Amino acid sequence: MEQNHSSTSGNSELERLVAEALGEIKRLGYSKTSRNRYRTTWKHLIEFSRRKELGDEFSAELAVRFLEDPRVRDEQTDEPGDGWRRHSAFEVKVLADFAKNGRIERVFTEVPAIHLVPPMQKTLRDYEQYCKDRLCLRPSTLHGRARDLTIFLDFLHSRKARTLDQIQAADLSEFISCRDHLQPKTIARIVSDMRSFLRFLTMRGIVQKDLGAELPKIRVPKDATIPSVWDPELLVRLLGAVDRSSVKGKRDYAILLLAYRLGLRVGDIRTLKLDNLRWAESTIEITQAKTGTPLTLPLTNEVGEALIDYLKSGRPQTTHREVFLKVNPPFDPFRENNNLHHIVTYWCRLAGITFRSPQKRGLHSLRHTLATRLLEKGTPFPTIAEILGHTSLESTRIYAKADLEALRSVALDPEEVSHAS
């Protein structure tokens, strides 16, 4: 049975801090296992502070000395109950942040576990309806926006704001500062979502002044990133590692081919319906989730055979029209926010694949790889754009940069040439 917070709390400032932090991670929806792990680490920290007579408050010195202690630093966890040491550095950092800012930032936020106060929840639902009716946002876009705003409103709650008319400019800047671990493109999207929400609050008279102007402008050059591309040899190993005799292997092999051979986006693979497979015409016809435009792709023999193998010998009997379903009961389609990254990760691990340099390795990187290979073969940009379903050639030209970087990566150093001669 989970211990009550009172077992950790006491009269010292450090004990009170730990008790409050435990209450906060419970409010944030941390699992019972995670809460017990944090409680154990912080309990050892309190005991260490007493043993070393380092005072009754949390301090940077206490944190450093605790983590440098051989009994904490040693990551061997052979003894029962010693597993807490493996994550102790992170858990002490979480407590340090809570001591400084009075809040805890989750690395991975599970939005369903966040329970907003009723007034904030109602306003957010009204805004979602506004986005559907007036802004005509796609379901996937609206889902992401609601997720970001839920995290923002929960942040406001952690700063003791109970109603939205209490929002201050300082709250906005502090929230964006806490997002500094994210990519600039992601931060820019969050800022844009917040601006739209703040305009809505002003329009509804919930706040008197549009605070959107207080948000920073995040500049993200369109060509700031280089698409990740797989080496041909690694792709051969990846596809070769798939166990096509198993249900999971049959399904995953077809998914990988749709991304690599046809360049379908993850969202379009996830929502692909049986009706989209036009066997008589040997085509796949969809309306792209991202752009809302129709796309027709050839159903090649390789892809078609993989799909037939899965549909006949792997896919469970069900009323669902989605092609790809989970392999365990109740055999539902994948959720909207599932990027299917686990599929690539699973077979990569079995194939023993390692990358020479850091890169993205999800299904979208297989789409990038197709575009780059087509470019290497001299395929015109308009043709590549048509295959990938781009509505603008600017989106396609980014692959020229990937091709240039690939050339640079194999270029000889001038000094090596002189030595060779």
pLDDT tens, per residue, the chain with 421 residues: 444 444 444 568 899 999 999 988 887 777 788 888 899 999 999 999 998 888 888 988 898 888 888 777 655 444 445 556 667 888 888 898 888 877 777 655 566 667 888 999 999 999 999 999 999 887 878 888 998 999 899 888 877 777 898 898 888 988 888 777 677 888 899 999 999 999 999 999 999 889 888 888 877 766 555 567 788 889 999 999 999 999 999 999 999 999 998 888 898 999 999 999 999 999 999 998 877 889 899 899 999 999 999 999 999 999 999 999 999 999 999 987 788 989 999 999 999 988 776 677 788 888 888 887 777 777 776 777 777 777 666 665 665 555 444 434 433 343 433 333 3
Vertex 241 angle, CA 235 and 245, to 5°: 130
Q: Cβ contacts of residue 34 below 8 Å, gap of 6+?
A: 25
To the query of whether residue 346 is one of the catalytic residues in this protein, the response is: no
Domain end marker among 153, 180, 214: 214
304 and 352 belong to one structural domain: yes
Q: For residue 342, is it within any domain?
A: yes
Rounded Cα gap, residues 49 and 62, in angstroms: 7
Vertex 180 angle, CA 33 and 394, to 5°: 115
274 and 374 belong to one structural domain: yes
Longest pairwise C-alpha distance within the chain: 80
* Three-state secondary structure call for residue 287: strand
Instruction: Name the pTM for this structure.
Output: 0.57
179 and 53 belong to one structural domain: no
Q: Which domain holds residue 400?
A: 232-410
**Among 47, 18, 51, 17, residue whose Cα is nearest residue 35:** 18
Beta carbons of 155 and 175 less than 8 angstroms apart: yes
Q: Cβ contacts of residue 3 below 8 Å, gap of 6+?
A: 36, 39
15 and 60 belong to one structural domain: yes
Q: For residue 415, is it within any domain?
A: no
256 and 206 belong to one structural domain: no
- Edge-to-edge, what's the strand order for the sheet holding 294-298? 277-278, 283-287, 294-298
CB atoms within 10 A of CB 270: 22
121 and 14 belong to one structural domain: no
- Which of 44, 265, 361, 368 is the catalytic position? 265
At 143, which CATH number?
A: 1.10.150.130
Radius of gyration, CA atoms only, the chain: 26
Domain end marker among 214, 243, 271: 214
Domain end marker among 167, 182, 214: 214
- Which of 26, 138, 290, 360 is the catalytic position? 290
61 and 166 belong to one structural domain: no
To the query of whether residue 364 is one of the catalytic residues in this protein, the response is: yes
To the query of whether residue 290 is one of the catalytic residues in this protein, the response is: yes
First to last CA, the chain: 74
What H or E segment, with its residue span, contains residue 297? strand 294-298
- Which of 127, 260, 310, 399 is the catalytic position? 399
Q: For residue 22, is it within any domain?
A: yes
**Among 261, 235, 228, residue whose Cα is nearest residue 402:** 228
Looking at the structure of the chain, the number of domains it has is 3
Q: For residue 221, is it within any domain?
A: no
Beta carbons of 387 and 298 less than 8 angstroms apart: no
To the query of whether residue 367 is one of the catalytic residues in this protein, the response is: yes
249 and 381 belong to one structural domain: yes
To the query of whether residue 342 is one of the catalytic residues in this protein, the response is: no
